[in-house]
């Protein structure tokens, strides 16, 4: 008879959970030092004294955008009509990789996983009729080309006689995690970091109400990280950007006043609540001890959380509504500031309008009906949650120390240090599912044997044809001499190591395309080819 496996009582990240937690687990815990009061250092209990009690819930948005700018615009307007207070502009892969829609490398991908943005004309169509006064945040997946997206948004606002600062633009602008786990890079890491810091510096001087960076642990978590890896790698990336900015002489407080961490919302409820609490404490500590910032405002970590895509299943997709609800509740209990809830059908296709509505309603029900928002830090003081918060913080600091000793985040990425850890842990997790050690409902337990439904929402290849036609008309109608001069200035400034913000704004205002600008920059910085790490 086969020996029965002993069930392990662990979190999703592998932390062992005790049968019961008692004051003994916190015997060396200094509550005044480690918790403090909500809205004050070390911000474990939240960055605002009242948090959600004053009716100011997190920004509720959706990740949306597909096909052409005109079609994406209709989806954005629908989200706002349904009570959404923000949305994220999902860019298609060619846009993220610096290619125009008519480039051979774009074939088969135009508009498929996001909206195609080739020029300022597409931005004008994307935002046509958007009631900006009703939108708290407009986010974007721009990373390698974040300086160009900044220029598009500024140029759009100026052309429409709108103060760019009056719109809550939110740039992801985190290139390091692209080399680590996501892959939409263009230039070598040093150039990528330089361009990210250009955005920080430009926003610090000219666009103080924008979010110039959202250092992203979300993609790191979905690539296989544990909770502590997610926070450690995110903090290490942040330190790389901030150290580079400080060396350049950038006012770090001005440049990062509206920065965010973009973190995943996984399924392990207690662990996720503890992770958000530990993230705030760690960020405040780094700002205070590494950068000598003693004012509380720059020490407050704003968190944008997104339900984990890796937790969604194509099998029994309606189960994903329950999963997303649990993730939303963990984020609310953990005190986040911005949230996106995945749609239940995203493991099968681009989300349908019905699924998008359900995910928005999920946030609204948790926000207005669950009771979690009526008190600050509702799980604070729980022996289990405090013990997990402390454990995650301890492990993050250990991993940060290793990265620091190896030369920092960028050097470790170039050597494949983080990539190997992510791959190893992702393999370990998948083995636990395949072996039945970890139960995934509808996948390895409680299955119904029904075939997975085909994709319901697809994007036609006609999008590329129409985008190419638009590009041809644009290039025929624009002032091509102005474009040529603007691109020449971008190249000159890049070679002189200047901040490219103003030069980019002039180039896109002349209707230079994203692809044309990226080709110029490739001539200066080169194109990145990753090393083999296995």
- Compute how many other C-beta atoms are within 10 angstroms of the C-beta atom of residue 402: 12
- Judging by beta carbons within 10 Å of its beta carbon (0-12, 13-18, 19+), is residue 511 exposed, middle or buried? buried
Whether residue 390 is preceded by a cis peptide bond, meaning omega within 30 degrees of 0, is no
Q: What is the dihedral sign for C-alpha 181, 182, 188, 190?
A: negative
Q: Write down the pTM of the prediction.
A: 0.94
End-to-end, the C-alpha distance of the chain in Å comes to 39
Q: What is the DSSP string of 498-512?
A: ---HHHHHHHHHTT-
- At 398-435, the pLDDT tens digits run 999 999 999 999 999 999 999 999 999 999 999 999 99
In a domain, 45, yes or no: no
In a domain, 236, yes or no: yes
In a domain, 13, yes or no: no
Buried b (16+ CB within 10 A) or exposed e, 416-440: bbbbebbbebbeebeebeeeeebeb
Contact between 342 and 306 (Cβ < 8 Å):
yes
Task: Tell me which residue range forms the domain holding 265.
Answer: 56-434
The one-digit pLDDT tens for each residue of the chain (534 residues) are 344 466 779 999 999 999 999 999 998 888 888 999 999 999 999 999 999 999 999 988 776 667 788 988 998 898 889 898 888 888 999 999 999 999 999 999 998 888 999 999 999 999 999 999 988 889 888 999 999 999 999 999 999 999 999 999 999 999 999 999 999 999 999 999 999 999 999 999 999 999 999 999 999 999 999 999 999 999 999 999 999 999 999 999 999 989 999 999 999 999 999 999 999 999 999 999 999 999 999 999 999 999 999 999 999 999 999 999 999 999 999 999 999 999 999 898 878 889 989 999 999 999 999 999 999 999 999 999 999 999 999 999 999 999 999 999 999 999 999 999 999 999 999 999 999 999 999 999 999 888 777 666 667 788 899 999 999 999 999 999 999 999 999 999 999 999 999 999 999 999 999 999 999 999 999 999 887 766
- pLDDT for res 266: 97
- pLDDT for res 2: 45
Query: 11-19 contacts: CB < 8 A, separation 24 or more?
Result: 11/227, 11/268, 11/270, 11/271, 11/388, 12/226, 12/227, 12/266, 12/267, 12/268, 12/271, 13/226, 13/227, 13/228, 13/268, 13/271, 14/226, 15/271, 15/388, 15/391, 15/392, 17/384, 18/384
Bridge partners, residue 306, by sequence: 264, 340
Three-state DSSP state, 402 = helix
Residue of 177, 182, 148, 289 whose CA lies nearest to 236: 177
Contact between 365 and 407 (Cβ < 8 Å):
no
- pLDDT for res 506: 98
In a domain, 310, yes or no: yes
In a domain, 365, yes or no: yes
Residue of 330, 321, 327 whose CA lies nearest to 372: 330
**CA–CA gap between residue 395 and residue 230 (Å, rounded):** 11
Residue of 123, 136, 150, 260 whose CA lies nearest to 205: 150
Three-state DSSP state, 262 = strand
Bridge partners, residue 138, by sequence: 87, 169
User: What CATH number does residue 356 fall under?
Assistant: 3.20.20.240
Three-state DSSP state, 10 = strand
In a domain, 81, yes or no: yes
In a domain, 213, yes or no: yes
Beta-strand pair 214-216/137-140: unpaired
**CA–CA gap between residue 525 and residue 531 (Å, rounded):** 17
User: How many structural domains comprise the chain?
Assistant: 1
In a domain, 448, yes or no: no
């Amino acid at each position: 008879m086969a020996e029965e496996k002993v069930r392990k009582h662990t979190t999703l990240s592998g932390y062992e959970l005790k049968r019961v937690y008692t004051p003994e687990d916190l015997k060396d815990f200094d509550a005044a030092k480690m918790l403090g009061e909500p809205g004050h250092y070390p911000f474990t209990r939240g960055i605002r004294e009242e948090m959600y009690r004053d009716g100011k819930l997190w920004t509720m948005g959706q990740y949306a955008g597909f096909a052409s700018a005109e079609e994406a615009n209709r989806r954005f307007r629908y989200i706002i009509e349904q009570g959404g207070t923000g949305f994220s502009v999902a860019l298609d892969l060619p846009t993220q990789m610096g290619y125009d829609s008519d480039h051979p490398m774009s074939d088969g991908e135009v508009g498929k996983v996001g909206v195609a943005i080739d020029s300022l004309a597409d931005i004008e169509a994307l935002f046509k009729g958007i009631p900006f006064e009703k939108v708290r945040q407009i986010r974007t997946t721009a990373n390698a080309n974040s300086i160009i997206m900044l220029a598009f948004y500024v140029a759009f606002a100026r052309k429409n006689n709108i103060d760019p600062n009056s719109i809550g633009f939110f740039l992801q602008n985190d290139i390091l995690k692209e080399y680590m786990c996501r892959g939409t890079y263009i230039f070598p890491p040093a150039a990528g970091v330089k361009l990210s810091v250009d955005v920080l510096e430009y926003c610090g001087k000219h666009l103080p109400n924008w979010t110039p960076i959202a250092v992203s642990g979300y993609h790191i978590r979905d690539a296989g990280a544990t909770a502590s890896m997610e926070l450690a790698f995110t903090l290490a990336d942040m330190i790389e950007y901030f150290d580079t900015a400080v060396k350049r002489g950038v006012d770090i407080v001005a440049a990062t006043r509206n920065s965010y961490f973009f973190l995943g919302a996984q399924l392990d409820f207690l662990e996720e609540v503890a992770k958000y609490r530990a993230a705030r404490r760690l960020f405040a500590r780094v700002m205070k001890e590494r950068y000598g910032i003693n004012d509380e405002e720059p020490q407050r970590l704003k968190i944008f959380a997104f339900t984990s895509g890796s937790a969604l299943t194509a099998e029994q997709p309606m189960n994903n509504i329950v999963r997303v609800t649990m993730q939303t509740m963990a984020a609310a209990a953990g005190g986040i500031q911005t949230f996106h809830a995945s749609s239940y059908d995203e493991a099968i296709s681009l989300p349908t309008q019905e699924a998008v509505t359900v995910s928005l309603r999920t946030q609204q029900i948790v926000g207005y009906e669950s009771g979690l928002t009526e008190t600050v830090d509702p799980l604070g003081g729980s022996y289990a949650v405090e013990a997990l918060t402390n454990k995650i913080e301890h492990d993050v600091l250990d991993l940060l120390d290793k990265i620091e000793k190896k030369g920092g985040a960028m050097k470790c990425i170039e050597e494949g240090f983080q990539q190997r850890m992510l791959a190893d842990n992702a393999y370990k997790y998948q083995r636990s599912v395949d072996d039945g050690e970890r139960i995934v409902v509808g996948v390895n337990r409680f299955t119904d044997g029904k075939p997975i439904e085909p994709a319901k929402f697809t994007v036609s290849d006609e999008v590329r044809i129409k985008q190419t036609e638009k590009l041809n008309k644009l290039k025929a109608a624009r002032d091509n001499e102005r474009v040529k001069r603007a691109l020449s200035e971008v190249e000159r400034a890049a070679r002189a190591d200047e901040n490219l913000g103003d030069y980019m704004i002039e180039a896109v205002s002349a209707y230079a395309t994203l692809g044309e600008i990226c080709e110029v920059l490739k001539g200066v910085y080169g194109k990145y080819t990753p090393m083999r790490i296995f």
